[in-house]
Amino acid sequence: MHEIGHFIGGKHVAGTSGRTANVYNPATGEVQSTVALASVEEIRAAVENAKAAQPKWAATNPQRRARVFFKFVELLNTHMDELATMLSKEHGKTVEDSKGDVIRGLEVCEFVCGIPHLAKGEFTEGAGPAIDMYSIRQPVGIGAGITPFNFPGMIPMWMFAPAIACGNAFILKPSERDPSLPIRLAELMIEAGLPAGILNVVNGDKAAVDAILTDPDIGAISFVGSTPIARYVYGTAAANGKRAQCFGGAKNHMIIMPDADLDQAVNALMGAGYGSAGERCMAISVAVPVGEDTANRLVEKLIPKIESLRIGPYTDDKADMGPVITKDAYNRINGLIDRGVEEGAKLLVDGRGFKLQGYEDGYFVGGSLFDHVTADMDIYKAEIFGPVLSVVRAKNYEDALELPMKHEYGNGVAIYTRDGDAARDFASRVNIGMIGVNVPIPVPLAYHSFGGWKASSFGDLNQHGTDSIKFWTRTKTITARWPSGIKDGAEFVMPTMK
């Protein structure tokens, strides 16, 4: 059986730890390959390669660094079908959805093509008597990214593109559940002209993560995953003197006002709730209709659409969604549906027990819909990360607003309304990081920054946009005065501009 190794120093490297994990085809439940799990020594080998290559890359002028990304974007477009199919085969999502995954990463690569401008510092002439002052942005050195299974193309590129454009070397530890695409991206970066050693991909589990968190030469770490692990990564990174940005779980609400275009809202809920089988950190998993009439009409329109979802393997180009990633995920999602029934929520559409002919051992979960969910239920509080939508009925706008405000997660939220005043008030008051107004999945474009609030995010700088340039660089400020401006004699008081 094919074993997926690592990509270190610009070439494929077989694993040497003796430990591996299975990579499944989620549609069939079959093992399709194995992936090597790195040891501390293998992580260190990647760091040594990065350490040797980084100074020369940092000294490469920004325009030349940008040209690598211009070429990389061209290669991504050329290989789009190949990349999407590779992603779908391991993840299970539809090929068109996988193309969206790659494209949203590509857009960040397009953004960092502007690194000559993005990385500029500031200059003040005559800041003091014969004194000039200026700041420059310099790379942190070696960065690392720890990425989840649900976006194996997009999130790695969100991390390594700005880090590398800023002059850093990078260690990527992708999810061991779908590891092939990140290695292919590294191959294409080399083809685009990136020097060997600047982007290294090392597969692994917690042992690899801990090695990254404690390695003395890694200066900054970006993480996306669950909130408990995000807390662990952030705390451990800080304890080891590293800067970190860590993004955790979510429970994203959509408020549907009585004046909303209900057909638009229902279509938005279908795509945002059931696309990619709900395995998105920005998926809408809670619908909050305002008023009983709105709720009744919403549910009436949702039920037939959910029941008619086309579920199939990635090879079915007409499928709306595919399987979930693993058997564990399948069992956890079904268990939470069971729990919702036990708690007294009304299960209007039951996705448990869904079987697809010819794929009976696949990890398929049908679309599920709960109504009359309340804020004290586990299915409301937990991030289900599956094709399950909960309807929480709100009496009025203030009650609807209170739900996302009080939830521990603060990743994304949306409101559907024709009322500009309501939309403006909602956007101003709600304590959530990313807000959609008649937009169900408000993931910002590449030149703005992505990040949640509360237990969804740890660290003060977000992903992509200008925040990413700040995160992957350090500011150095220089105060300069030349001999003609220096007075004779020593000065013993604190310098001021008085």
- Residues with a catalytic annotation lie at 281
Dihedral angle over CA of 305, 307, 312, 316, nearest 10: -40
Look at strands 473-481 and 131-139 and give their pairing. antiparallel
Write down the H helix ranges in 120-205. 154-165, 180-191
| Integer Cα distance of 174 and 490 in angstroms | 57
Judge contact between 479 and 133, C-beta under 8 A: yes
Task: Decide: 60 and 166 in contact? Cβ < 8 Å.
Answer: no
Query: How far is Cα 487 from Cα 440, in angstroms, rounded to an integer?
Result: 64
State the CB neighbour count (10 A cutoff) for residue 317.
9
Cα gap 157→165, rounded to integer Å: 11
Give the SS3 label for residue 435: strand
Pairing of strands 6-8, 131-139: unpaired
**C-alpha to C-alpha distance for 49 and 30, rounded to whole angstroms:** 35
Cα–Cα distance measured from residue 348 to residue 339, given in angstroms and rounded to the nearest whole number: 15
- The interaxial angle of helices 40-59 and 206-214, nearest 10 deg, is 50
- Secondary structure string (H, E, C) spanning 30-84: EEEEEEECCCHHHHHHHHHHHHHHHHHHHHCCHHHHHHHHHHHHHHHHHCHHHHH
User: Tokens in use for 334?
Assistant: 């079904």
* SS3 label, residue 114: coil
Other CB atoms closer than 10 Å to residue 488's CB: what's the count? 4
CA angle 92, 96, 99 (to 5 degrees): 95
